[in-house]
């Protein structure tokens, strides 16, 4: 007797057999509301049963085109063969020992891969953790230990997590920070080079934003007090903002000249998502520390801080770690995910997705005035929606577009400080026909705005 098709064996098609959500999903949602904290939100009110390749199938048998990848997590697709194989083999050996008690080879192998893959040819070390927020928090700890300083500089529109410190680092109040203060001190926010919204225009953005950053740090914080500058090379929850060219290198030089640790938060943008292993490579930026999570392990919880050996080793023995950090099954999955990325050349796949999607999205922008900008790199792309003829954010149309896509069998995500950005994070293994079909539905959604 054969079981249901799994993972990549799922038919790669969009197919709706019930209303959305269907009866089984509605039943499960009622159970969720009775058992799960109300603060745990839901983007799409359907319950997953299987997923693989570029599709997600719900408990009612509906099959959706996945343009979200679990928020950039299932980069190699759900249930990728090498991820499942390596994780299953590890499950049969042991599930946990705690790497701080009796270590295991998988932890070391992942750290060796991170040393090879992350930018820069300097000697590196890594620590493995559970989540992106935990990685960012540990990066700050490490920077403070190394520099003996306390201040941390972050940027407008930044998102770095939901712990107390990372909420302080995050810019957006609702839903991430509202009602949860007080927050950790010694955090200072400066402008980011946001070309679409820069007051004097995109051509001036990089130079003027960098000058403002340097001026504010120098005058308001004091460069000698700053332990770390933490930045996303492409800002994620802030709206997939790609800083104007030249801005990141200027920030990097300022940090180097002042003994400040530059931390690149690549949690959403890393591991082939932008057509390179890491987004900061686009302008040759080599961070001192780099934080990773999401796409690293094919859907299992794993995160890391990787950086210069002298910085990472500044922390006293026992100062880094955690009971579940670098879980052996998650490490095995990460090695399977990296194997898949290499074997399928997922950087090239991401660049091809950009070629297909940017052409289609640009055509939509020319047709629909509600689309203010198309932006992003690789398979990390977005459209920002505005009131036609202005730059006034239009979150209502953004929500309407997402609802149409969801009802029509295409999973998309929204984001942005103003709630007016539709973002696209398809699995890098998605078929081109499926990708184009998803874009056809998106076009219908814009046409239906009226």
SS3 content of the chain, % helix, strand, coil (to 5): 40, 15, 40
Q: What is the pLDDT of residue 2?
A: 38
CA distances from 432 to 5, 12, 63, 438, 439 (A): 22, 11, 17, 10, 11
| Residues whose CB falls within 8 Å of the CB of residue 447, separated by 6 or more in sequence, listed in order | 368
Per the CB < 8 A criterion, the answer to whether 364 and 118 are in contact is no
Q: Please tell me the total number of residues recorded for the chain in this structure.
A: 450
pLDDT at residue 5 is higher than 60: no
**Per-residue pLDDT at 4 exceeds 50:** no
Contact 271, 295 (CB under 8 A): yes
pLDDT of residue 431 exceeding 90, the answer is yes
Assess contact for 26 and 47: CB atoms under 8 A: no
| pLDDT at position 293 | 98
Q: Can you give the pTM of this predicted structure?
A: 0.96
Give me the helices (H) in 94-220, please. 105-117, 132-147, 164-169, 202-216
Which pLDDT belongs to residue 303?
A: 98
Mean pLDDT of 288-295: 98
**pLDDT band at residue 3 using 50, 70 and 90 as cut-offs:** very low
Q: What is d(CA 409, CA 359) in angstroms, rounded to the nearest whole number?
A: 22
**% of the chain beyond a pLDDT of 70:** 98
Helix axes 346-367, 328-343, angle to 10 degrees: 70
Question: Sign of dihedral through CA atoms 327, 176, 192, 273?
Answer: positive
What is the rounded CA–CA span in Å between residue 51 and residue 46?
A: 13
> Alpha carbon of 73 to those of 111, 199, 299: distances in Å?
19, 34, 6
CA pair distance 19, 60, nearest whole angstrom:
9
Q: Is there a contact between 244 and 174 (Cβ–Cβ < 8 Å)? A: no
| H or E element that contains 249 | helix 247-257
Which helix (H) or strand (E) covers residue 109, if one does? helix 105-117
- Phi and psi at 186, nearest 5°, equal 60, 40
Q: Which of 221, 216, 195 is nearest to 207 (CA)?
A: 195
Give the gyration radius of the chain's Cα atoms: 22
Share of the chain above pLDDT 90, in %: 98
Per-residue confidence (pLDDT) for residue 450, from 0 to 100:
72
Under the banding of pLDDT at 50, 70 and 90, the label for residue 7 is low
Cβ-contact 435, 426 below 8 angstroms: yes
Judged against a pLDDT cut of 80, whether residue 241 lies above it is answered with: yes
Q: What average pLDDT does range 20-33 have in this prediction?
A: 97
Rounded CA separation 355/378 (Å): 8
Condensed to tens digits (0 to 9), the pLDDT of residues 115-164 reads 999 999 999 999 999 999 999 999 999 999 999 999 999 999 999 999 99
Q: Kindly report, residue by residue over 340-372, the tens digit of the pLDDT.
A: 999 999 999 999 999 999 999 999 999 999 999
Res 348: pLDDT: 98
Could you report the per-residue pLDDT of 297-349, keeping only the tens digit for each?
999 999 999 999 999 999 999 999 999 999 999 999 999 999 999 999 999 99
Per-chain mean pLDDT for the chain: 96
pLDDT digits (tens, 9 = 90+) for 249-265: 999 999 999 999 999 99
Residue 230 CA neighbour count, 13 Å, CB half: 36
């Amino acid at each position: 007797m054969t079981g249901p098709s799994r993972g990549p064996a799922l038919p790669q098609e969009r197919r709706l057999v019930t209303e959305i959500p269907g009866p089984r999903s509605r039943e499960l949602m009622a159970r969720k509301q009775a058992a799960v904290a109300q603060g745990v939100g839901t983007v799409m009110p359907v319950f997953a049963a299987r997923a693989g390749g570029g599709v997600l199938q719900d408990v009612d048998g509906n099959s959706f085109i996945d343009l979200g990848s679990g928020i950039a997590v299932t980069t190699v697709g759900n249930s990728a063969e090498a991820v499942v194989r390596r994780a299953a083999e590890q499950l049969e050996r042991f599930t946990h020992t705690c790497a701080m008690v009796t270590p295991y080879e998988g932890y070391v192998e992942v750290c060796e891969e991170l040393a090879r893959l992350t930018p820069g040819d300097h000697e590196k070390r890594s620590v493995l953790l559970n989540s992106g927020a935990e990685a960012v928090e540990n990066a700050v700890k490490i920077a403070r230990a190394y520099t003996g300083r306390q201040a941390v500089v972050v940027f407008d529109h930044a998102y770095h997590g939901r712990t107390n410190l990372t909420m302080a680092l995050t810019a957006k109040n609702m839903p991430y920070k509202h009602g949860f203060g007080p927050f950790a001190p010694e955090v200072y926010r400066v402008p980011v080079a946001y070309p679409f919204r820069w007051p004097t225009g995109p051509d001036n953005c990089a130079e003027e934003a960098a000058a403002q950053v340097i001026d504010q740090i120098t005058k308001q914080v004091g460069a000698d007090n700053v332990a770390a500058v933490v930045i996303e090379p492409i800002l994620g929850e802030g709206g997939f903002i790609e800083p104007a060219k030249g801005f990141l290198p200027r920030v990097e030089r300022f940090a180097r000249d002042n003994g400040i640790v530059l931390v690149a938060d690549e949690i959403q943008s890393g591991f082939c998502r932008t057509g390179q292993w890491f987004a900061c490579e686009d302008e040759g930026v080599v961070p001192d520390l780099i934080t990773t999570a999401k796409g690293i392990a094919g859907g299992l919880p794993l995160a890391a801080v990787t950086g210069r050996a002298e910085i990472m080793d500044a922390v006293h023995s026992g100062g880094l770690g955690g009971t579940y950090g670098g879980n052996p099954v998650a490490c095995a999955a990460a090695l399977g995910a990296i194997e898949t990325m290499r074997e399928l050349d997922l950087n090239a796949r991401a660049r091809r997705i950009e070629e297909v999607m940017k052409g289609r999205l640009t055509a939509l922008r020319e047709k629909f005035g509600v689309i203010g900008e198309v932006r992003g790199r690789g398979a990390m792309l977005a459209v920002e929606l505005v009131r036609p003829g202005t730059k006034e954010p239009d979150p209502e149309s953004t929500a309407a577009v997402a609802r149409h896509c969801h009802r029509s069998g295409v999973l998309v995500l929204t984001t942005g400080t103003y709630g007016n950005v539709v973002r696209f994070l398809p699995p890098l293994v998605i078929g081109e026909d499926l990708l184009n079909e998803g874009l056809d539905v998106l076009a219908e959604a814009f046409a239906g705005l009226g």
